[in-house]
Every structure is written in structure tokens, then in C-alpha cells.
Amino acid sequence: MNFSFTKEQELIQRMAKEYAEKNIDPVAQQIDIENQIPAEIIEGLGELDLFGIPFSDEYGGAGSGYATYVLAMEQIAAASSGVGMIISAHTLGLGAIDAFGNEEQKKKYMPKSCKGEHIVSFAFTEPGTGSDPKQITSTARKEGDYYILNGTKRFITNAGYPGPIVFFAKEEESGRVTGFIVEKFCEGYSISEPWEKLGMHGGPLLDVYLKDVKVPAENILGAIGQGYPILQYAISYGKVGVSSAALGGALAAFNEAVKYAKEKTHRDQPIAKFQSTKLNIATIAEKYEAIRWLTYRLGYLADNVKDPVQFAKDAALTKDFVCEQIVDICKLAVSVHGSYGLMKDYKVERLWRDAIMGLQIEGVSDMQKMIVAGVILGM
Ligand SMILES: Cc1cc2nc3c(=O)[nH]c(=O)nc-3n(C[C@H](O)[C@H](O)[C@H](O)COP(=O)(O)OP(=O)(O)OC[C@H]3O[C@@H](n4cnc5c(N)ncnc54)[C@H](O)[C@@H]3O)c2cc1C
């Protein structure tokens, strides 16, 4: 067992922290209000290779693995969970191409995506189904060497950015769910206005409409009928991103609570002197340390998968626990602030709204518990 970081991990963590503090933190409030990430931030993150941390340098990535990705994501999301959401969903989609794409697909779609010139989407949720992807109704009809895709996808992160979208549809001949790589904004691709959601502002969530979109058969990801295993596998890796983004929110709430406890005074004494404040700070610290090491461990496991079923369980367990704990952490941080914590002038108000989002992303909490129990009990 080794709890220390490599030199490269320390370097990337520091780089992400410095970039986030200098470039994202000062505009985080503006991002929250406008629900839009400035283009320079996306460019800046791309220049630092933060869109391709876990992926091989052969395909334009940083080649640093998921353990390092977790460390960078924590720092970025501490400044803005909307930015964290973009990277997390992008890495999920790109991870699916990396794991299941053939050589031509990887060479075609990965380099620009790893540099942030393309932002990837991953589309399985539909108006009629989120928790049960087997009920997907989007279709893929074979026509010669092409497939004609039709369907509506709901709540798709990054759907308004150019780049590939991994689109799941039922292949009509086999009746089986299959993944396709589609280029966003091709003929027949359209999107809704962004959803106005509670938190994670700046992280764009749109509906996607495919109307007779023609893709070559070579754009099938993996094989016909492999869509469901791809979905399960990729989503497990996606939970590394969701957990790290939540961890970043917890770190920010922790820092805000400590800062406020020392600054705010009653009768010329900082409120940090009160036992009630100390108890809140200590509970936040306990929870933060627990989820920190659980998330770092998930990053390590993602780089060292021996049994995909066990990894799926660990990813579900971590995502669920971390996302539940961050809601508690933010609630405690708001408590330290009193009523000021409910005001938009204070960062914890935003952090609490952001925190609640994690519970529903990439599988609701109940579904995570079903995965965990299913693997443990073998049923
Ligand atoms: C910020 C954000 C980003 C997102 N990004 C993406 C994205 O990029 N791509 C994408 O495809 N989706 C994305 N989603 C969608 C998200 O993954 C789904 O909303 C989520 O999986 C839940 O699906 P649902 O909303 O349809 O809820 P439902 O599936 O309707 O679930 C509602 C409730 O019913 C229960 N339930 C439903 N089915 C079952 C069952 N079979 N067994 C037991 N209980 C069940 C659940 O416990 C849950 O509490 C995103 C969502 C958010 C909020």
C-alpha cells in the first residue's frame, strides 16, 4: 500500500490547481449566473492537456492514467463544477472510444478530443428511459454500407460543442443496442436549448435529435449488439469523473467553511472559537478525508482493472457514497455561514446547489446501491 503521489501526479495536480485558481475561480460566479463557460477556459484547459489526461500519448493524450485524472479534476471542480462536468462527460465518451474503438477510429477521433479542440458527448438517456438503458428506442437501420440513425436523447452533456458523440441505438436487424460514433452537427443532427438546471451551471445539458442521420458502418463502436456492455463499462469509468468532480465541490466547501469560521466574528472573537463551529469543521474534515481517499482509490482501480464486475461495483459504491457525503458537507458548510450561506454572495450557496446534482448523474443513487448489492450478493 502506498499513499504517496508520483512526481508527475504532484505536477499535474499543482498545474490544475494553479490554473483553476488563476483562471476559473475569478469567473466562477459569472459562469453560474450566465450558465456559460468562457471559450478561453476551454482553450486553456486544452493547452494543458486536461482533456486527455488518462489517455495514451499515442492518441494525443497526456498518458497519465485515471489516478492522475482524479487529482486534476478535484482541483478544477473545486473552482467550478460546471467546468468539471464538461471534462467528466467528455472523458466518459472519449474513454468509450479509447476502450472499444478500432485503430482507425482512435486515430480519427482521439487526438483533437484529447486537445480539447473537440468535446465528446455520450448519449444513452432518452425521454422514456435513463436508469434502464435496455429500453432505448432510438433506431439504426442498415442501408448498404451505411446506417440511418433516428431518435431523441435527453440531458446530453456537451451536445452543443463540436466533436464526436457516442450514440446508442437499437440496430433494427438484430434488435440489439449498438454504439455508433456520430459527428455532432452533421446533417440531421439538431439540439434543444440548454436545460435550466439547479446547479453545475456552465455544464451544458441539451436534448439531441437525430433525424435520418447517415453514418458509415465503420462508425460502429465495437460490434453490433455490444452497446449494452460498452455502456456498462464506460459508465463505470464515467463515475471516476463524477466522483472526482463531487470531491472538488467538497474541497471547496471545506475551504470556504474554514475561511468563514476564522473571519466572522461575534463579540470580537472569530466564530471558530465556538464549540458548535469546531464540531461542524471537524465533521466536514472527517467526511472530506473519507471521500478523498475513496475517490483516489477509484482512480487507482480504474488504472488497474482486474475484474470489470468488481470495478463496476467499486465505481458505483464510490460514486454513491461520495455524492451523498458532499451534500452533507455542503449543508454543514452552509451551517457554519448561518443565513449568509444561503445568499448568492457566498460560494457555499452555489456549492450546495451543485452538490445535489451528483446524486442523479450517471445513474441515480438507488441504482448504484442495486449494482453494489447485486455484485456482493451475486443476484
Ligand atoms: C447534470 C446531468 C448530466 C447528465 N449527462 C448525461 C449524458 O451526458 N448522457 C446521458 O445519456 N445522460 C445524461 N444524464 C442523464 C442521467 O444519466 C439520467 O437522468 C439518470 O440516469 C436517471 O435517469 P432518469 O432521469 O430517466 O430517471 P429514471 O430512470 O426515471 O428514475 C427515476 C427513479 O425511478 C427509479 N427507477 C427507475 N428505473 C428503475 C429500475 N429499473 N429499478 C429500480 N428503480 C428504478 C430510480 O431509483 C429513480 O429514483 C445527465 C443528467 C444530469 C442531471
Question: What is the DSSP secondary structure assignment for residue 117, as one 8-state letter?
Answer: S
219 and 233: one domain? Answer: no
- Among 128-132, 252-256, 261-265, the range scoring the smallest mean pLDDT is 128-132
Domain count, the chain: 3
195 and 246: one domain? Answer: no
Return the sign of the alpha-carbon dihedral for residues 296, 297, 298, 303: positive
Residue nearest to atom 26 of ligand 1 (CA): 130
Give how far Cα 66 sits from Cα of 19, 130, 233, 245, 299, Å.
19, 26, 15, 13, 5
Give the long-range contacts of residues 108-112, CB within 8 A, separation 24 or more.
109/164, 109/181, 110/52, 110/55, 110/59, 110/60, 110/61, 111/59, 111/60, 112/60, 112/163
Let me know if 74 is a catalytic residue.
Answer: no
97 and 151: one domain? Answer: no
- Mean pLDDT value of segment 279-302: 98
What separation in Å is there between the alpha carbon of 100 and the centre of ligand 1?
24
210 and 237: one domain? Answer: no
- Domain residues for 129? 121-226
Q: What is the per-residue pLDDT across 195-224, written as a single tens digit (0 to 9) for each? A: 999 999 999 999 999 999 999 999 999 999
- The ligand 1 atom at the shortest distance from the C-alpha of residue 200 is 1
- Mean pLDDT value of segment 48-75: 97
How many other C-beta atoms are found inside a 10 Å radius of the C-beta of residue 226? 17
**Pairwise CA distance, residues 365 & 137, whole Å:** 24
**Pairwise CA distance, residues 253 & 78, whole Å:** 8
Residue 39 is predicted with a pLDDT of 96
In a domain, 289, yes or no: yes
First to last CA, the chain: 31
CATH number of the domain within which 21 lies = 1.10.540.10
- In a 13 Å sphere around the CA of 7, the CA atoms on its Cβ side amount to 0
171 and 248: one domain? Answer: no
* Domain stop point among 94, 114, 134: 114
364 and 242: one domain? Answer: yes
In a domain, 25, yes or no: yes
147 membership: H or E segment, kind and range? strand 146-157
**Pairwise CA distance, residues 373 & 358, whole Å:** 20
Give the long-range contacts of residues 279-282, CB within 8 A, separation 24 or more.
280/332, 280/333, 280/335, 280/336, 281/257, 281/336
52 and 11: one domain? Answer: yes
Residue 379 is predicted with a pLDDT of 82
In a domain, 262, yes or no: yes
Burial (CB < 10 A; 0-12, 13-18, 19+), residue 374, is middle
* Domain stop point among 78, 99, 114: 114
Query: Do the bridges between strand 139-143 and strand 164-171 make them parallel or antiparallel, or are there none, so unpaired?
Result: parallel
CATH number of the domain within which 331 lies = 1.20.140.10
Please say if the pLDDT value at position 276 is more than 90: yes
- Mean pLDDT value of segment 338-350: 97
Confidence of residue 2 (pLDDT cuts 50, 70, 90): confident
Q: Which of 122, 131, 231 to mutate to test the pocket of ligand 1 (most atoms within 8 A of CB)?
A: 131
pTM, two decimal places: 0.96
295 and 321: one domain? Answer: yes
Residue nearest to atom 52 of ligand 1 (CA): 361
* Domain stop point among 62, 96, 114: 114
- In a 13 Å sphere around the CA of 368, the CA atoms on its Cβ side amount to 26
| Ligand 1 interacting residues, C-beta cut-off 6 A | 89, 122-125, 130-132, 155-157, 200, 205, 357, 360-364, 366-367
Confidence of residue 273 (pLDDT cuts 50, 70, 90): very high
Cell numbers linked to 38 = 468562457
- Mean pLDDT value of segment 133-147: 93
232 and 373: one domain? Answer: yes
Give how far Cα 351 sits from Cα of 178, 239, 263, 280, 362, Å.
37, 19, 19, 17, 19
